[in-house]
A and B are shown apart, each in its own frame.
Chain A
Amino acid sequence: MAGILVVAETSGGNFRRVSLETLSKARELTGALGGPLAAVVAGSGISGNAGDLGAYGAEKVFVVDNEALGTGLAAPHVDVIAKLQAENDFSAILVGGTALGRDIAAALAARLGAGLNSDSIDLTANGSALRARRPAFGGQNLVDAEWTSGPAIALVRPNSFPASESGGTAEVVTVTPEISDAALAAKVTARKPAEAGKIGLEEASMIVSGGRGLGAPENFATVEALASALGAAVGASRAAVDAGWYPHPNQVGQTGKTVSPNLYIACGISGAVQHKVGMQTSDVIIAINKDEDAPIFQFADLGVVGDLFEILPQLTDLVKARQG
């Protein structure tokens, strides 16, 4: 076994940031784990920019273009990557933790009878062995795991590593996909794309979240305005989602998503432990709440006790003025 394969995902013709973050980290690891560092880009109508991955450290980029690889369904990707693995015998396969990436890595582990570490927030080398760290119990614990045999498959949580260019170039290899009938059994018959410009919660580097303190669904506009000025995604507490104020994919917390952005601004969220376990691994937490006894102030880096309807529009204007 030799080398590392990074599964690089595209969206709207661009690489997802988590793929570049993962590739940048993999480049560091080749020192201890050994190269070569390869990437696979599989999609529909993809072209052109595959070689750009060379700048992030990929020495070889496998490009696989097929309609079935652009549907958001993972099974065809699993066929493609399993074949690459059979031919190249990589010691590690690293996948960015998007919804598609999670499905690919999980099914690939089953297909190859391999070990999977989900939600890796750090990847290091223990000698020549890969070691992955993941948070457990809402970040109360950090678990380090290794693999007893290869290939080591790891899912990487977005925002865990910086995406950094190294200025290399990659050999681009076009691969003809062989996709099984079984992998084509599920078919996408219609697609309804999310609103353009909306940023997914799990990949977002900044999140502005609203809770019960917003008082009414239309008041989420205040949160959205600040998010838009910052280029942040919008989150919501369980209370806000259960009340029907904001859609469930945006829920952060025990029964929603677990996020680790660089910045998390909680607006009108009390910070009950059910919410805390979904966001406490954020780098910087800022809370705005009119209740000075709200639990969120016990773990926020900066807390402002006040009326969010006064503070948020002013803050939005300040951010806009700086960036305008």
Chain B
Amino acid sequence: MKIAVCVKEVPDTTAEKRIDPSTNRLVRDEGDRMLNEFDKYAVEEAVRLKEAGTADEVILVSLGPEKAVESLRQGLAMGADRLVLVSDASAAGSDYVGTARALAKAIEETGAELVLLGSESTDARSGVLTATLGEVSGRTWVTSANSLAVNGGSITVERQSDDGIDTVEAPLPAVVSVTKAINEPRYPSLKGIMGAKKKPQDVKSLGDIGLGAGDVGEAGAKTKVVGIETPPARTAGQVVKDEGNGAQVIFDYLVEKKLI
């Protein structure tokens, strides 16, 4: 069985961001770039399934600028076998559905039966891609897996729902997002890092995967950004030293603010 893992290069969300006022898009060529932290759990789970003999190939699939290869290589260093990156100028400005269409096409070409994702990306933080991708690709999808077992043609997932933890059984092919509870991602070994550079890293255009403008990118997007504001940063309020009255100070503040 082949497993595709959707991965994304993200900016360091803890750094200052700059948005190009002419396009209302994030300037993507500056600052630290990295593999989305949440994706590491999906890569780890896929690599473990390969190590256990359940999977025979782990393919990273991504949509993004060509230079994202450098960040995404970390997934190869963790043990994934190869990378397929869809990179195309006309894919810029894709909405969720457009992004899902591009990933679905690239995944289809890999022949993967199981698709894994992190629960969200640290930049967009929307957590909607699993459902969108599942729907677009016509696969059964399950979000928020705390554990995952593959049994022949089906999977068993313990999923975190709004109301507790549910056991879910679903047939393959399937799309599954994993939570941080599922595993502890490994740090790539030096050997892994050196070996990653030699693993196949294919960059494909939208044409290569049979998509055109209108399916993906700004042309196909059904939402558009009409403005971006930078609110004033929070500033320090009142800071007091506890001299036995700390609890009272907080209590009075809660009462004053009508919070209790």
Contacts and interface: CB of A to CB of B under 8 A. Distances in A.
A310 B241 CA distance: 13
B172 to A, nearest CB: 10
Q: Is the interface of A mostly helix, strand, loop or mixed?
A: mixed
Contacts of A115: 95, 97, 221-223
A110 B239 contact: no
Nearest to B14: A273
24 contacts: A11-B162, A99-B162, A100-B161, A102-B126, A102-B131, A107-B135, A109-B128, A115-B221, A118-B127, A141-B229, A144-B225, A189-B167, A248-B181, A254-B14, A254-B122, A273-B14, A280-B234, A284-B259, A302-B238, A303-B238, A303-B239, A304-B242, A304-B246, A307-B242
Given A230-B260, A263-B257, 15 more contacts: A98-B162, A100-B162, A106-B128, A107-B141, A118-B126, A141-B228, A191-B167, A192-B164, A297-B239, A300-B237, A301-B237, A304-B241, A304-B250, A305-B241, A315-B251
Q: Is the interface of B mostly helix, strand, loop or mixed?
A: mixed
B106 interface: no
Interface residues of A, number: 98
Contact of A189 (B128, B169, B229): B169
Nearest to A151: B222
Contact of A185 (B135, B171, B221): B171
A190 interface: yes
Contacts of B95: 115-116
B166 interface: yes
Nearest to B165: A192
Nearest to B253: A302
Nearest to B143: A103
Interface in A81-118: 98-100, 102-107, 109-111, 113-118
A140 B230 contact: yes
Interface string B5-36: 00000000110110100000000000000000
B242 A116 contact: no
B71 to A, nearest CB: 16
Contact of A148 (B162, B168, B180, B222): B222
Interface in B218-240: 221-231, 233-240
Contacts of B240: 302-305
A277 interface: yes
Contacts of A182: 138, 140
Contact of A111 (B127, B135, B237): B135
A54 B85 CA distance: 49
Interface of A: 11, 71-75, 78, 98-100, 102-107, 109-111, 113-119, 126, 131, 136-149, 155, 182, 185-194, 200, 206, 230, 247-249, 251, 254-256, 258, 262-263, 265, 273-274, 277, 280, 284-286, 288, 292, 297-307, 310-312, 314-315, 317-319, 322-323
A302 B97 CA distance: 42
Interface centre among B131, B138, B233, B253 (most CB of A within 10 A): B131
Contacts of B126: 102, 118-119, 155
B193 interface: no
Contacts of B142: 73, 186
B125 to A, nearest CB: 6
A265 to B, nearest CB: 8
A38 to B, nearest CB: 22
A248 B180 contact: yes
A211 B53 CA distance: 39
A299 B162 contact: no
B226 to A, nearest CB: 5
Given A114-B222, A149-B222, A302-B253, A185 B17 contact: no
Interface string B153-177: 0001001111111111111001000
